[in-house]
Amino acid sequence: MKINHVAIAVENVEDAAKAYQDAFDIKSVEFETVESEGVKIAILHLENANIE
């Protein structure tokens, strides 16, 4: 079994992305706005999966 990504709901996406970047030494992060759901997301790229 392979996990593609894990999604975590947070109050502040920028603060959470920074915390995960620091904790896991993540270099690649993308931010997107999902208009249909009214949310901004961060996609943090790990070696074999993503945190959203």
Place of tokens 């790229």: 45
Higher pLDDT, 1 or 9: 9
pTM of the complete model? 0.80
For residue 34, is pLDDT > 90? yes
The one-character DSSP state at 41 is E
Mean pLDDT of 32-44: 95
**Where does residue 17 rank: exposed (0-12), middle (13-18), buried (19+ CB within 10 A)?**
buried
Locate the domains of the chain by residue range: 5-51
Of 36, 47, 38, 44, the closest CA to residue 6 belongs to 44
Does the pLDDT value for residue 21 go beyond 90?
A: yes
Q: What is the C-alpha separation between 21 and 46, in angstroms, rounded?
A: 10
Q: Which pLDDT score, from 0 to 100, does residue 44 have?
A: 95
